[in-house]
């Protein structure tokens, strides 16, 4: 049942049901939508830890409503930002107007002023008058021409022309060119960016990074709808006038283009006369994430390992419970015949830590002259260390798991979800678990893509919404069946959950088997013996002799099985999109 605050909110907005709230959001102001979001979030928190079916249903309805509100907020922010960008673009068109035809540009006006000032400063009174008369006499002849080239003036006596006067005599073709760049990058702030008003310009790239970090901090703790976007910065290029093509000015536009791309302009470039710049950056897309380790409870093993006793299971107590009817009691049912189970000592288990090492070596000259190289190699080394370490953990989990297999009747998405759901229910039934306990299931990460591909291949007419399938939706399918899924990135040692390296020729196909692990929370413990990190600049007598440097790091770890059951489920798959409607119903029970 929804909290009273939510019911009051719906009544206030005249909305009959929570799933109809989205139809009302368009009529609300920004402040009202923010208030609605706050009430919904408070209602979700009010439901607390009650995990009953009814409460979980209410939480799901609230979460969907909150996502709808956030999508509305995001859409409004994008619309507001787009309008601000449009307004800025409109303003930019009138802030730098082009000079009308027949009038001198600013540069021409400044040149005229400098010529006049220089003439008056360096000539006598007569020279100034003559200059003025000559200027008046030529005024009529210069009308209609774009620019008049000043006549040379001979120096008299020992007088030398000033710099301004020399500049006034220089032909326009020899005038210095503007050093204005061909394009200028402008970065402006978006809406609701902490510390910046919408449309203001960031002073530097550091401010952009800070704004991104502040925006992320502001969003922490709030549930963001999938696909939401928050505009922090807008990048725009402002071009100088000689690189702007104007509507209705075909002649001018042609001149601008030819000044850049004509053969004389290209020939004048003359090719490269200097060595090109070297790019020292190295790409790295590998991750050192440890999803298997991080999904298990962790305990520090100060003594290098742990010892424990294997726990009993429900089946061990089958002989401990009897059933006596009233008739049995009347007939003198002997108490000695009541069944009994004897408690026995469990088997002592011991798990010791193992070391997973990482060691690299490089030359001192290379490290000194190519410093960009080592960090990339080291990050790749950490990723490889994670792959081996995770593979060892999966191997230990596999050793302590019951190996089961499953076939395929339909497509991967339907069969795999059915298979895993069936084992989840079987596991709960066998061990009589609390229905609110979430089991754990480890599934390879590539299966997310296989789910999407399988549903894309299904029969036409099923709708395109499945083409937008997300990892979060798949995780929700597993949660609805009572298991929290962990997507592991690697494979147990000797396993088959890694794609081969792509070579020239046919493209890589989907793997034919999915290997998953199902167990209860706490069945496996991650035993952490610590990390030994000797650094990245190790120098000893050996490296000194060879002028090298070494890096060394190792983790001490293992996994201890302390559960009642773990299953390794290997399913044969085919990504074909098959559904029950296109398969003989008689064959639906042959694969499982």
DSSP secondary structure string for all residues of 134-185: HHHHHHHHHTTSS-PPPPP----TT----HHHHHHHS-GGGSPPP---S-EE
Inside any domain, residue 171: no
Q: What is the reported pLDDT for 583?
A: 57
Inside any domain, residue 328: no
Give the whole-angstrom CA distance, residue 512 versus residue 499.
Answer: 11
493 and 388 assigned to the same domain: yes
Q: What is the reported pLDDT for 116?
A: 44
Q: Binning pLDDT at 50, 70 and 90, where does residue 429 land?
A: very high
371 and 239 assigned to the same domain: no
Give the whole-angstrom CA distance, residue 271 versus residue 274.
Answer: 9
Inside any domain, residue 335: no
493 and 432 assigned to the same domain: yes
Q: What is the reported pLDDT for 175?
A: 52
Q: Binning pLDDT at 50, 70 and 90, where does residue 406 land?
A: very high
User: pLDDT (tens digit, 9 = 90+) per residue, 547-564?
Assistant: 998 999 999 999 999 999
Chain-centre distance of CA 291, in angstroms?
A: 17
CATH number at residue 515: 3.90.1690
Say if strands 548-561 and 354-363 run parallel, antiparallel, or are unpaired. Answer: antiparallel
Q: Binning pLDDT at 50, 70 and 90, where does residue 492 land?
A: very high
- Which residues fall within 8 angstroms of residue 105, CB to CB, at 6 or more apart? 99
Considering just the CA atoms, what is the radius of gyration of the chain in Å?
Answer: 39
Determine the Cα angle at 552 with ends 548 and 555, to 5°: 170
Least confident of 289-293, 402-406, 579-583: 579-583
Res 82 pLDDT > 90: no
Inside any domain, residue 298: yes
For residue 230, which of 22, 87, 84, 76 has the smallest C-alpha distance? Answer: 76
138 C-beta neighbours (distance < 10 Å), count: 13
Beta-sheet strand order (sheet of 402-406)? 402-406, 566-572, 513-519, 439-444, 483-488
Q: What is the reported pLDDT for 109?
A: 45
Domain ranges, residue 583: 291-305+347-497+509-587
Structure tokens at 282: 């190295």
What does the pLDDT average to over 462-490? Answer: 89
Secondary structure (DSSP) of 436-488: TPPEEEEEETTHHHHHHHHHHTS-TTS-SGGGG--HHHHHHHHHHTTEEEEEE
386 and 466 assigned to the same domain: yes
* Residue 485 phi, psi dihedral angles, 5° rounding: -95, 140
295 and 418 assigned to the same domain: yes
238 and 361 assigned to the same domain: no
Helix (H) or strand (E) holding 371: none
Instruction: Write down the residue that tokens 């953990």 correspond to.
Output: 393
Buried/exposed code over 103-128 (b: 16+ C-beta within 10 A; e: otherwise): eeeeeeeebeebbbebbeebbeeeee
Inside any domain, residue 363: yes
206 and 301 assigned to the same domain: no
Determine the Cα angle at 531 with ends 528 and 537, to 5°: 170
Say if strands 348-352 and 439-444 run parallel, antiparallel, or are unpaired. Answer: unpaired
| Size (the chain), residues | 592
370 and 473 assigned to the same domain: yes
Q: What is the reported pLDDT for 380?
A: 93
What does the pLDDT average to over 409-421? Answer: 91
Res 226 pLDDT > 70: no
Chain-centre distance of CA 29, in angstroms?
A: 31
Inside any domain, residue 364: yes
Number of domains in the chain: 3
Inside any domain, residue 440: yes
User: pLDDT (tens digit, 9 = 90+) per residue, 449-462?
Assistant: 999 999 888 876 65
381 and 526 assigned to the same domain: yes
351 and 238 assigned to the same domain: no
Instruction: Write down the residue that tokens 């008689």 correspond to.
Output: 586
Bigger pLDDT: 363 vs 9 = 363
Q: Is the pTM of this model over 0.85?
A: no
Res 376 pLDDT > 80: yes
318, 428, 521 from 314: Cα distances, Å: 7, 12, 17
Res 144 pLDDT > 60: no
Half-sphere exposure of residue 171, counting CA atoms within 13 Å on the CB side? 2
DSSP conformational letter for 205: H
- Which residues fall within 8 angstroms of residue 102, CB to CB, at 6 or more apart? 146
Structure tokens at 406: 């499953």
Above pLDDT 90, what percent of the chain? Answer: 29
391 and 514 assigned to the same domain: yes
Inside any domain, residue 555: yes
200 and 296 assigned to the same domain: no
- Which residues fall within 8 angstroms of residue 12, CB to CB, at 6 or more apart? none
């Amino acid at each position: 049942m929804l909290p009273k605050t939510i019911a009051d909110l719906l009544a206030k907005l005249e909305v009959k049901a929570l799933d109809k709230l989205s139809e009302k959001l368009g009529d609300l102001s920004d402040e009202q939508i923010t208030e609605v979001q706050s009430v919904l979030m408070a209602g979700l928190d009010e439901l607390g830890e009650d995990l009953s079916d009814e409460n979980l249903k209410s939480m799901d309805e609230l979460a969907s409503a909150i996502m709808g509100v956030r999508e509305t907020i995001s859409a409004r922010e994008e619309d507001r930002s787009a309008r601000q960008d449009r307004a800025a673009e409109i303003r930019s068109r009138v802030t730098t107007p082009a000079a009308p035809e027949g009038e001198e540009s600013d540069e021409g006006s400044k040149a005229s002023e400098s010529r006049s000032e220089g003439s008056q400063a360096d000539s006598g009174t007569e020279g100034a008058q003559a200059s003025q008369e000559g200027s008046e006499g030529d005024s009529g002849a210069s009308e209609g021409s774009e620019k008049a080239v000043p006549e040379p003036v001979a120096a008299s006596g020992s007088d030398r022309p000033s710099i301004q006067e020399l500049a006034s005599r220089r032909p326009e073709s020899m005038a210095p060119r503007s050093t204005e760049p061909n394009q200028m990058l402008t970065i402006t702030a978006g809406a609701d960016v902490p510390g910046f008003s919408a449309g203001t310009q960031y002073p530097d790239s550091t401010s952009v990074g800070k704004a991104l970090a502040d925006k992320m901090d502001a969003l922490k703790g709030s549930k963001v709808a999938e696909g939401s976007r928050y505009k922090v910065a807008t990048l725009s290029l402002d071009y100088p006038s000689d690189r702007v093509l104007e509507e209705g000015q075909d002649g001018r536009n042609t001149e601008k283009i030819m000044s850049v791309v004509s053969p004389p302009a290209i020939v004048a470039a003359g090719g490269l006369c200097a060595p090109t710049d070297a790019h020292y950056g190295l790409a790295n897309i590998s991750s050192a994430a440890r999803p298997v380790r991080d999904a298990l409870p962790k305990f520090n093993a100060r003594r290098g390992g742990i010892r424990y006793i294997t726990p009993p299971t429900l089946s061990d107590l089958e002989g401990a419970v009897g059933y006596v009817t009233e008739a049995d009691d009347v007939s003198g049912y002997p108490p000695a015949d009541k069944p009994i189970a004897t408690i026995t000592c469990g088997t002592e288990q011991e798990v010791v830590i193992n070391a997973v090492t990482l060691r690299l070596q490089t030359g001192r000259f290379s490290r000194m002259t190519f410093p960009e190289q080592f960090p990339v190699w080291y990050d790749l080394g950490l990723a490889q260390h994670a792959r081996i370490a995770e593979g060892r953990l999966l191997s230990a989990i596999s050793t302590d798991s019951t190996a089961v297999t499953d076939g395929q009747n339909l497509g991967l998405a339907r069969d795999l979800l059915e298979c895993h759901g069936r084992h989840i229910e079987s596991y709960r039934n066998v061990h009589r678990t609390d229905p609110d306990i979430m089991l754990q299931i480890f599934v390879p990460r590539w299966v997310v893509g296989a789910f999407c591909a399988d549903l894309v291949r299904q029969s036409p007419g099923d709708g395109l919404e499945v083409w937008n399938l997300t990892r979060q939706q798949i995780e929700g399918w597993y949660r609805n069946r009572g298991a929290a899924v962990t997507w592991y990135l690697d494979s147990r040692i000797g396993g088959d959950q890694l794609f081969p390296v792509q070579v020239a020729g046919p493209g890589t196909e989907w793997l034919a088997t999915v290997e998953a692990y199902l167990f209860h929370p706490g069945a496996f413990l991650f035993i952490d013996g610590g990390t030994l990190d000797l650094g990245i600049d190790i120098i000893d007598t050996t490296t000194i002799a060879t002028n090298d440097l070494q890096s060394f790091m190792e983790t001490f770890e293992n996994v201890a099985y302390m559960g009642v059951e773990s299953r390794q489920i290997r399913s044969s798959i085919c990504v074909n999109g098959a559904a029950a409607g296109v398969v003989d119903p008689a064959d639906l029970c042959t694969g499982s």
